[in-house]
Amino acid sequence: MSNAKKSAVVLMIITFISKITGFLRDIILAQHFGASIVTDAYITALNIPVVLFTGISASLGTTYIPMYFKIKEEQGQEGVNKFTSNVLNIVLILSFIIIVLGTLFTPYIVKVFAMGFKGEELRITTEFSKILMPSIIFIAANGLVSSYLLANGRFYISGIVSIPFNIICILAIIVGSFTNSYTMVWITLFAYMAQLIFQIPFLKKTGYKHNLKVDVKDNNVRNIIYLIIPVFLGSYVDQINNVINRTLASTLDTGSITALNYANKLNVFAIGILVISISTIMYPILSKFASQNNMKAFKGSLIRCINLVIIIMLPIMVGMMVFATPIVSLLFEGGSFSSRDTFLTSTALLFYALGMVSFGIRDMLSRGFYSLQDTKTPVKNAVAAVFVDIVFSIILVKIMGIGGLALSTSISVTFGAILLMVALRKKIGRLGIKSSVITFLKAITASLIMGLTVNKLYKFIITIGDSFIDEKKHLIFLGLTIATTIGALIYLILSVIFNIKEVKDVLKQLKLRILILLKK
């Protein structure tokens, strides 16, 4: 587990850098092209290939890893190479067909994605979309290659691969602003290709050998198709939920949809860096134990992951709730984004944050089911959770406005996590969640004490600093930096006092490393 923890920390750092380069890409696009026909066309054209194939690609990545370990256990590396080559060939043929159809019917597809586009805007978007349509083949290949590398323990590659993509896109935007927008689009297409090229050397090092044989009747291919369908449908259940929430938000004050979107992005940003990094590392490990039918190791690893999610996410959840308003104000307020917009967004963020820990636990439990090659249970769970979300959204939006929509999402995610926990216990027996309950109680106590302390500290810093710092954002940044740093130290000290095992293990490892370095 120590190697897995180390890998998770490194992947978190890589994911953070990736997210930052993604934000820089968006900022540079806004600076060079503003809110114009070109940016609308470019963003829409980028979105079309992603929507057309990413659902399939993501579903394939989820179901491939458990199949990989099952085949490797039974047939060895040769069987894995044969299976991976076959699936990749089929996916490439399918993506090629989608590219041809997408190119032929681009004007109609653009109208579906952007109904309001007319004249010059429609023409440019259609041309951009035709240029970017071949990116589908790279999206398809990237998804499967990344999953193969994950299964082979190359955890960092999946995080790193987005960094060169974002850097090339930034260069594309800068070059495009000095030449023409079409240059930007062509270079962006190359960025997708570069993602695949970047992974090929790592692919070769694993011993992978590709062959061009296509066998759609292969039992393993049939099994993966059987597993993919529920995951694919489940990915669209969440999309339906988002559409319903935005529809209900449209009945509220002007700006509610935008506020909900910004709050959700901030929430997903934190979850994406921390929870997804942990689950990315642990998914191949869980799949390996499942393929070996080693349920003791499987349960132990899953519970340790859940404990890790609890320990990391609880203080962040409390911090996000305490500092919702200053965070939103620091990042967005100014220009057309008013203090009223800050209030709406921070209200939504506060209630979204309540579901952070539940989201992390639900994601880990879903990975547990996928590792066991059970893709139906998480989808049934997702449908039930969406139903709960819709019911609570309709009720709470009338009482709490935008906060009610965010709170309903947190309630539904918590409901889903509990359902999955019960379902997994029925499937594989007692999980040993007593340790997770104890860890939760200790971590929530430490987090609440931390939250109360940093809230008072932040207010004190703002009051004192207001007399000599004129710029509001500088003052907020100073207050948040000092408060969060001290908050992290408080949480760490309390975790040691409360004897939280995972925290003490990490500190013990750090102490050993420091002693080794000092001896050198």
* Bridge partners, residue 406, by sequence: none
pLDDT (average), residues 449-465:
91
pLDDT (average), residues 287-299:
85
Place of tokens 């579903």: 59
pLDDT, one tens digit per residue, over 354-377 is 999 999 899 889 888 888 888 888
Question: What pLDDT, on the 0 to 100 scale, is given for residue 494?
Answer: 92
Torsion of CA 396, 398, 402, 403, to 10 degrees: -40
Under DSSP, is residue 244 helix (H, G, I), strand (E, B) or coil? helix
State the total domains in the chain: 1
Question: What pLDDT, on the 0 to 100 scale, is given for residue 150?
Answer: 81
The model's confidence at residue 350, banded by pLDDT at 50, 70 and 90, is very high
The two tokens of residue 446 are: 């430490």
Question: What pLDDT, on the 0 to 100 scale, is given for residue 357?
Answer: 92
Mean pLDDT, rounded, of the chain: 83
Tell me the C-alpha distance between 417 and 368, whole Å.
Answer: 12
Contact (CB, 8 A) for 368 and 325: no
**Residue 487 in domain:** no
pLDDT, one tens digit per residue, over 132-158 is 899 888 888 888 888 888 888 777 777
pLDDT (average), residues 256-280:
77
Tell me the C-alpha distance between 25 and 346, whole Å.
Answer: 25
| More reliable by pLDDT, 317 or 272 | 317
Tell me the C-alpha distance between 151 and 172, whole Å.
Answer: 33
Give 35's DSSP letter: S
The model's confidence at residue 336, banded by pLDDT at 50, 70 and 90, is low
**Per-residue pLDDT for 447 more than 90?**
yes
Range 121-128 contact pairs with CB under 8 angstroms and sequence separation of 24 or more: 121/37, 121/40, 121/41, 124/37, 124/38, 124/41, 124/181, 125/40, 125/41, 125/44, 125/45, 127/182, 128/41, 128/42, 128/44, 128/45, 128/181, 128/182, 128/185
Question: What pLDDT, on the 0 to 100 scale, is given for residue 115?
Answer: 64
Tell me the C-alpha distance between 396 and 406, whole Å.
Answer: 9
**373 — alpha (psi -120 to 50), left (phi > 0) or beta?**
left
Q: How many CB atoms lie within 10 A of CB 17?
A: 16
Q: Which of 284, 275, 300 is nearest to 153 (CA)?
A: 284
pLDDT, one tens digit per residue, over 183-214 is 888 998 999 898 888 888 888 888 788 888 88
**Residue 377 in domain:** no
**Residue 102 in domain:** yes
| More reliable by pLDDT, 152 or 475 | 475
Domain range enclosing 107: 1-216
**Residue 116 in domain:** yes
Percent of the chain with pLDDT over 70: 89
Question: What pLDDT, on the 0 to 100 scale, is given for residue 1?
Answer: 46
Tell me the C-alpha distance between 88 and 214, whole Å.
Answer: 9
334 phi/psi in degrees, rounded to 5: 135, 155
**Residue 162 in domain:** yes
The model's confidence at residue 468, banded by pLDDT at 50, 70 and 90, is confident
Contact (CB, 8 A) for 454 and 319: yes
pLDDT (average), residues 91-115:
84
337 phi/psi in degrees, rounded to 5: -90, 105
**Residue 276 in domain:** no
Question: What pLDDT, on the 0 to 100 scale, is given for residue 46?
Answer: 80
Contact (CB, 8 A) for 110 and 137: no
Tell me the C-alpha distance between 168 and 191, whole Å.
Answer: 6
**Per-residue pLDDT for 229 more than 60?**
yes
Question: What pLDDT, on the 0 to 100 scale, is given for residue 116?
Answer: 64
Tell me the C-alpha distance between 274 and 26, whole Å.
Answer: 22
Question: What pLDDT, on the 0 to 100 scale, is given for residue 321?
Answer: 93
Tell me the C-alpha distance between 468 and 470, whole Å.
Answer: 6
| More reliable by pLDDT, 409 or 74 | 409
The DSSP secondary structure of 443-479, one letter per residue, reads: HHHHHHHHHHHHHHHHHHHHHHHTTT---HHHHHHHH
Query: HSE-up of 204 (CA within 13 Å, CB side)?
Result: 5
The DSSP secondary structure of 136-171, one letter per residue, reads: HHHHHHHHHHHHHHHHTT-HHHHHHTHHHHHHHHHH
435 phi/psi in degrees, rounded to 5: -65, -35
**Per-residue pLDDT for 175 more than 50?**
yes
**Per-residue pLDDT for 131 more than 50?**
yes
**Residue 38 in domain:** yes
Q: Which of 347, 369, 367, 391 is nearest to 275 (CA)?
A: 367
Q: Which of 385, 513, 505, 520 is nearest to 4 (CA)?
A: 505
Judge residue 207's burial from the number of C-beta atoms within 10 Å of its C-beta, 0-12 exposed, 13-18 middle, 19 or more buried.
exposed
Lowest mean pLDDT among 113-117, 363-367, 419-423: 113-117
Question: What pLDDT, on the 0 to 100 scale, is given for residue 441?
Answer: 93
pLDDT, one tens digit per residue, over 6-28 is 666 677 777 778 878 877 777 67
pLDDT, one tens digit per residue, over 211-226 is 888 888 888 888 888 8
**Per-residue pLDDT for 338 more than 90?**
no
Q: Which of 124, 46, 43, 57 is nearest to 92 (CA)?
A: 57
| More reliable by pLDDT, 118 or 300 | 300
Quote the longest CA-to-CA distance of the chain: 75
Question: What pLDDT, on the 0 to 100 scale, is given for residue 255?
Answer: 67
Judge residue 516's burial from the number of C-beta atoms within 10 Å of its C-beta, 0-12 exposed, 13-18 middle, 19 or more buried.
exposed
**Residue 131 in domain:** yes
Place of tokens 């309709």: 394
Place of tokens 């216990």: 425
**Per-residue pLDDT for 513 more than 90?**
no
Question: What pLDDT, on the 0 to 100 scale, is given for residue 151?
Answer: 80
The two tokens of residue 175 are: 């070059």
Measure Cα distances from 328 to 29, 246, 263 in Å.
21, 20, 8
Sign, CA torsion 247/253/254/260: negative
Question: What pLDDT, on the 0 to 100 scale, is given for residue 484?
Answer: 93
The two tokens of residue 307 are: 């404990």
